[in-house]
Structure formats: C-alpha cells, structure tokens
Chains A and B, each alone.
Chain A
Amino acid sequence: MTIQTKKEATALIVTITGRMDAVTAPEYEKKFSELITAGETFFIVDFEQVDYISSAGLRVLLATAKKVKGVSGKILLANIKGGVKEVFDISGFGTLFPMHDSLASALSASGC
C-alpha cells in the first residue's frame, strides 16, 4: 500500500494504492495521525486504486474517522468500487461514510 497526499483549496486529497489488509492498514492510521497532528481536518480519501480491503482496513478507517471527528473535521470517500464496495455494503460501512462516485463530486461537496 502507498499513500499520497495533495492539497486542494477545500480539502486534502489522500490517494491510497494497493491493499488495505492486516499488514498494511496500520500505515494508514499512522499517516492520518501525522496529518491530523499537522492541523489537517478535511480529507477526501481516493479509493480508485484500492483493490482489496479486509476488516483490518475497515477498522483503521473507523478509528481514523473518530479521530477526525474529534477535531471537528470530516472525511469523504471517493471512487469505492468492485469487491471493496461489496465489503463496505455488507459491513454497513457504506452508510457510515459520505461516499462519492468521483473526486470532482467529493471536492464540490467539500466546498459547501
């Protein structure tokens, strides 16, 4: 898994590539802790290139979302599809997070 960030006017775009599993998920949590400590509060996480997620991945998404909520921030998720979307749907996580079909849609929502 690799994590890249890009600052936009209204949000920080966090692009994840690869697998979010029990081995890689802690990297996600660590990265977000650093970003929150650095003062970031509004995130769009791009899942376009995430091809696998397990409960360990969902666990860090949830833990991170709680931290972001704690600093009155927000996380939007974009481009969740395929098997990853099925995992979100079956676990009920699809209703826990605001989900967008494209980065453009998430960015326009973040400007509100």
Chain B
Amino acid sequence: MSEKFNKIVAANVEKLPEITEFLQECADYSGLDPKKKFGLLLAIEEAFVNVCNYAYPDHKGLIEVSCDKVDDSLVVEISDKGIPFNILLLPDPDISLDIADREIGGLGGYFIRRFTDSVSYRREDEKNILRLVVNCLS
C-alpha cells in the first residue's frame, strides 16, 4: 500500500521552514529513525536551495515536494519546471584542502549523495525531478 503526500511552495529559500515541517511530518509518519531523518532533511534542503538559486533565472516559479512510503523506504521527489539541471553531475568538492584554499560551496550535491540511500535525476514533462530514497529499516 502506498500513501503519497505533497507540498507545493514558491521557489524561494524563505520557504524552507515549510518544506522542513512537511518532511518532518512525513518522516515521523513513516517511522524514520532520527539519524535517517536528519540526513533526509539535509539532503532535501540542499536540493531545495539549489533549485531556488538556479532553476528559475527570474526567481519566479514553484517547487513541488512529494513523499511516498514504498515498501520499507521513504521516497521523496523534488521537482521544478525550471531550466534543465542535474545537481548529481557536479563533481565532489576537494575536502582535503586547508581553510585558506577551501572553496565556499560545492557541498550540496555531495551531501545529497552521502545522506541518502539512493538518489536519481530525471527530466520528465519539462520538469527536473530529483528522487531521494531512504530506507526506513536500516
């Protein structure tokens, strides 16, 4: 059985608290443990902020986040109708550099990969759709 919830907000970083609250409810409903929940919230913030900053050059547009419990996993999709962009193609940052040489930024895509069990991107119906999966059992 599958129960799907979704939330649509303006592509504005100020809307992050609404997305966070929505996902917290989904995570609690799915019985996600605190560690996995932390990782999911982090991954979604990184994806959300990236869409807010880059998807819509005129900064006008919507972002939809959906949550679906599929078997033992929580599947979260974040989609926008902005310019095609796959954050997963960004290279990992060099995390060994000293403070003086460290670039500010570049960690978003890295965190999305590291804090979820699986993640994929697809372009469908002129939408960017990032699909994040966290296993509720492990």
Contacts and interface: CB of A to CB of B under 8 A. Distances in A.
A66 B99 contact: yes
B107 interface: yes
B98 interface: yes
Contacts, number: 64
Contact of B95 (A23, A56, A92): A92
Contact of B42 (A54, A66, A82, A92): A54
A73 to B, nearest CB: 13
Contact of A59 (B13, B35, B96, B105): B105
Contacts of A55: 46, 105, 107-108, 111
| Interface magnitude class on chain A | 20 to 34
Interface string A34-70: 0000000000000000001011101100110110010
B39 A96 contact: no
B13 A22 contact: yes
A80 to B, nearest CB: 14
B104 A91 contact: no
A56 B96 contact: no
Contacts of A58: 107
Would you call the interface of chain B mostly helix, strand, loop, or mixed? Answer: helix
Interface string B84-118: 00000000010111111010110110110011000
B16 interface: yes
Contact of B107 (A21, A63, A91): A91
A22 B105 contact: no
A90 B95 CA distance: 8
B95 to A, nearest CB: 3
Given A23-B16, A62-B104, A92 B96 contact: yes
B49 interface: yes
A63 B97 CA distance: 15
Given A55-B108, A69-B99, A83-B39, 9 more contacts: A21-B16, A22-B13, A22-B49, A52-B42, A54-B42, A83-B35, A90-B111, A90-B115, A91-B111
Interface of B: 13-14, 16-17, 20, 34-35, 38-39, 41-42, 45-46, 49, 93, 95-100, 102, 104-105, 107-108, 110-111, 114-115
The 10 closest A-B pairs by CB, nearest first: A92-B95, A83-B38, A55-B107, A22-B49, A54-B45, A96-B99, A22-B13, A59-B104, A23-B16, A55-B108
